Amino acid sequence: MVSELELKEIIGKVLKEMAVEGKSEGQVVTETKKPSESYIEDGIIDDITKEDLREVIELKNVANKEEFLKYKRKTPARLGISRAGARYTTHTMLRLRADHAAAQDAVLSSVNEEFLKANNLFTVKSRCEDKDQYITRPDLGRRLDEESVKILKEKCVQNPTVQVFVADGLSSTAIEANIEDCLPALLNGLKSYGISVGTPFFAKLARVGLADDVSEVLGAEVTCVLIGERPGLATAESMSAYIMYKGYVGIPEAKRTVVSNIHVKGTPAAEAGAHIAHIIKKVLDAKASGQDLKL
């Protein structure tokens, strides 16, 4: 009777012979990697959010791929995504979660202080104390705190023809992505029209309505705020410009002229800056903004 030890030796010899025969027949015998070994070189994986969804079709059998791509390039909507049974594929789900995470980061993060210094923007703030209060108390985000009122009166030109300022709004990411190109283009555009501009600054934890308070404090004829918009799954970098003529606290929303969708996949920042300058000139010429302005 064969003992257990002898049986193990026989099995070991058979396995070795099978491995040798496999190699001689051109088969490749590989060792299984240990679970602890990494499959990612250098610990870096591709950023899934860098992929342009307008150029991607996940469907396996598309009748007319070129025509479908023409359709997709017209919208950032998630068309042509694939499924595994009743569920999204892994790639689709990961991209959805990545875009959602980017939107959350845009809302909850703050504009980098070094970025503001590099763009010569000093900081004031609304009456909100932190992000939580900013999100839950929009009314406080529309008014300057007492210290900020003093700072504006000390550092800014009083009664400017145009007052331009930057606000984080609901997307600090949008500010860092667009201001470096948009603000210089806007200021240079106004200068080319011979329009004097006040001292630019940055407003933290600000809502669009903060421009009303700024307009009253500085006595600006036209006030323009460049503000980060509420991010979505299409982009977290969208910025808008809100322009009003002789603003005051409590001015109707219909009195604001808006240039929206300023981002790399919308209206490019530099182009938007020049366009905003052109609109501000029209506002000054017509002495009106919002629904009262005929463009």
Q: Domain total for the chain?
A: 1
Check the annotation: does 9 bind a ligand. no
Given CA atoms 175, 180, 182, 186 in this order, what sign does their dihedral have? positive
pLDDT computed for residue 243 by the predictor: 98
Is 227 inside a domain boundary?
Answer: yes
Is 71 inside a domain boundary?
Answer: no
pLDDT computed for residue 15 by the predictor: 74
pTM of the model: 0.79
Distance CA 88, CA 166 (A): 39
The domain containing residue 158 runs over which residues? Answer: 113-292
Distance CA 33, CA 41 (A): 15
Distance CA 119, CA 169 (A): 18
Distance CA 228, CA 269 (A): 13
SS3 label, residue 203: strand
Is 55 inside a domain boundary?
Answer: no
Is 81 inside a domain boundary?
Answer: no
DSSP 292: G
pLDDT computed for residue 55 by the predictor: 85
Q: Where are the beta strands (DSSP E) in 175-237?
A: 202-204, 222-228
pLDDT computed for residue 154 by the predictor: 96
pLDDT computed for residue 46 by the predictor: 77
Provide the CATH number for the domain around residue 131. Answer: 3.40.50.11240
Would you tell me how many other CB atoms lie within 10 Å of the CB of residue 146? 8
Local confidence pLDDT in tens for the 295 residues of the chain: 667 777 677 777 777 777 666 555 555 545 545 555 545 556 677 788 788 888 888 888 888 888 989 988 888 888 888 888 889 888 889 888 999 998 998 898 999 999 999 999 999 999 999 999 999 999 999 999 999 999 999 999 999 999 999 999 999 999 999 999 999 999 999 999 999 999 999 999 999 999 999 999 999 999 999 999 999 888 889 999 999 999 999 999 999 999 999 999 899 999 999 999 999 999 999 999 999 998 8
Is 127 inside a domain boundary?
Answer: yes
Is 104 inside a domain boundary?
Answer: no
pLDDT computed for residue 47 by the predictor: 80
Is 26 inside a domain boundary?
Answer: no
CB burial of 99-115 (b: ≥16 within 10 Å; e: otherwise) equals: beebbeebbeeebeeee
Q: Is 131 exposed, middle or buried (0-12, 13-18, 19+ CB in 10 A)?
A: middle
Instruction: Give me the residue label for tokens 């009743």.
Output: 86
* φ, ψ for residue 24, nearest 5 deg: -65, -25
Check the annotation: does 208 bind a ligand. yes
The DSSP-derived string for 257-271 is EEEEEESTTSB-HHH
Is 245 inside a domain boundary?
Answer: yes
